[in-house]
Chains A and B, each alone.
Chain A
Amino acid sequence: MLTSNDVRDDEAMQERHVTQLTDVGEDIILSTHDLHVFYGQHEALFEGDLQFANHKITALIGPSGSGKSTFLRSLNRMNDRIATVTGQIMYRGVDVNQPAIDVYEMRRRVGMVFQRPNPFAKSIYDNIAFALQLRGVTDRHQLDEIVETSLRQAALWDQVKDELNKSALALSGGQAQRLCIARAIAVKPDILLLDEPASALDPVSTSQLEDTLLDLKQKYTIIIVTHNMQQAARISDYTAFFNAGRVLEYDTTSQIFTNPQVKITSDYVSGNFG
């Protein structure tokens, strides 16, 4: 078995090109420093060092097993109890990767939507009200209002406004995924993490979802893992290319897709491997 040190010696030679967004004058909301993730003895992510710009969409691309989902799940501590995450995750100046942090409060600010649409076996209304009720919001008017605004922001309101009490499991894949987004934004997070949100959807639903994400950019910072390169190119402002547990290139999306600096990135975005 390859130990992490062997790999590191190997890869130290590898060319990398990671832009510091502070250098281009971006407002940084979240950044990681020297982030390592271990599943038991196995190191799945070496040095994920990235900065994320406020109110921008950042796409994480790379072949399967390159560590991008692992990285994303670490950002809101979803890897707690599953993996060991070392290093710093600075969220608005606070390191949230330390034991003293209340992960439940932190996950309210950094929400997550998963690959597979995962609505609860509850009504559409209760799905969205769930997280609010956990936080003690009981006022019916307030709940109604938040349910409506969340569904509107997720572009689902017009389709479901007359059947809010129907089971969420009856929704189509695209609708269910937008319900999950509505559910995530109901608690007014700062950052929205999306782990391949469109991979289970048909092309029409995917394009609707992308439009929704572009709208949401006004209010939220979005970090999205995607296998779909066109999707990354269409919606993101910045793109990070992951390979073998490492960020090899990070730059504006147009730069990554038109003028990649690293050979592997160029091979990947042009479809020569991965």
Chain B
Amino acid sequence: MKSTQQLERQLKRHSKAARLESWGRFISFSALLLIVAVVVGIIGFVASKGIATFATNHVSLWDFLTEKTWNPNIKDAHGNPEVGALPMIVGSFLITILSAIVATPFAIGTAVFMNEISPNRGAKILQPVTELLVGIPSVVYGFIGLSVVVPVTRAVFGGSGFGILSGTCVLFVMILPTVTSMSTDALKAVPRYYREASLALGATQWQTIYKVVLRAATPGLMTAVVFGMARAFGEALAVQMVIGNAALMPSSLVAPASTLTSVLTTGIGNTVMGSLQNNALWSLALVLLLMSLVFNLIIRLIGRKGRMQA
């Protein structure tokens, strides 16, 4: 009887291991809580500020999304502030889509070379180079864009050289390493036995790459491209340096234009908190944030679809 009580006491005693266990759980849970709080805080803050343009300053959402004149300091004939964000939205999408279109074939081509055609040289030379490119600060890309790409564009197409085309060139180089390394991961994830099966059936290496490997890697490759687009969409500094920062509808690829990010970075320091000018910029930030959420959602959807196939 006594020994039973003793055993019970021993088993119910809070040992050091049990205390550590609950501590560990507490710490990791707090870390999680902090991250969730930060994310929710950022979204809440940007949303409250961004919505103020429509709620406090009574700008119509429709005008904001479709009007082409961006000049928050001036009111139009009807007394409404001119905060048409369409030029920036168009600029952002244009530059994102164009750079993704240009970068994708190069990225997939490089990934195929690194992974399928020459894995040894790929691992030794191309992989480190790609990783290095990812780490170059965007101001360096922007500076090179400003001193090389812009003058070349000016010499070839005339005009000032600033514009969507220069921005696309810079972003193309900036997202290329990201898309390449993610495409490489996608190709690496294709099981080796797919390739063997195809080769054993008498397919050539090119047929194997084209008909089996790339097909099987399609969800991963799409994720890579969307990821690159998300990066291009959110890039501010390098784009701001070469795009010309004119809040106008881009009339051609070599005319000065602007993106959501470039207007934000150039404008946010020159406005007073709580003013319409400031709130309008927050609305742009909100659009940016929502778009990144959409990109994230797309990546997740593709990933889920890919898992279902496999």
Residue on B nearest A133 in the bound complex, by CB: B211
B255 within 8 A of A: no
Q: Return the contact of A104 from the options B196, B204, B215 (Cβ within 8 A).
A: B204
B123 to chain A, nearest CB (A): 15
Q: Which A residues are CB-close (under 8 A) to B211?
A: 130, 134
A120 within 8 A of B: yes
Q: Return the contact of B202 from the options A105, A113, A116 (Cβ within 8 A).
A: A105
Q: How long is the Cα–Cα vector from A121 to B204 in the complex, in angstroms?
A: 19
B129 within 8 A of A: no
What would 23 A/B residue contacts be, using CB atoms closer than 8 Å?
A: A78-B200, A104-B202, A104-B204, A105-B202, A107-B201, A107-B202, A111-B201, A113-B200, A114-B193, A118-B193, A118-B194, A120-B194, A120-B197, A120-B212, A120-B216, A130-B198, A130-B211, A131-B202, A131-B203, A134-B202, A134-B211, A183-B201, A184-B201
A169 within 8 A of B: yes
Q: Which B residues are CB-close (under 8 A) to A216?
A: none
Q: Which 6 A-B pairs have the closest CB atoms?
A: A112-B200, A118-B193, A131-B201, A108-B202, A107-B202, A118-B197
Question: Contact: A114 with B196, CB < 8 Å?
Answer: yes
Binding site for A on B (CB under 8 A): 191, 193-194, 196-204, 207, 211-212, 215-216, 309-310
Q: How long is the Cα–Cα vector from A114 to B200 in the complex, in angstroms?
A: 9
Question: Contact: A114 with B197, CB < 8 Å?
Answer: yes
Question: Contact: A107 with B207, CB < 8 Å?
Answer: no
A187 within 8 A of B: yes
Q: How long is the Cα–Cα vector from A134 to B210 in the complex, in angstroms?
A: 11
Q: How long is the Cα–Cα vector from A111 to B194 in the complex, in angstroms?
A: 15
What is the total number of residues of chain A having a CB less than 8 Å from a CB of chain B? 27
Q: Which B residues are CB-close (under 8 A) to A184?
A: 200-201
Q: Which B residues are CB-close (under 8 A) to A155?
A: none
Q: Which B residues are CB-close (under 8 A) to A167?
A: 309
Interface core residue of A105, A120, A183 (most chain B CB under 10 Å): A120
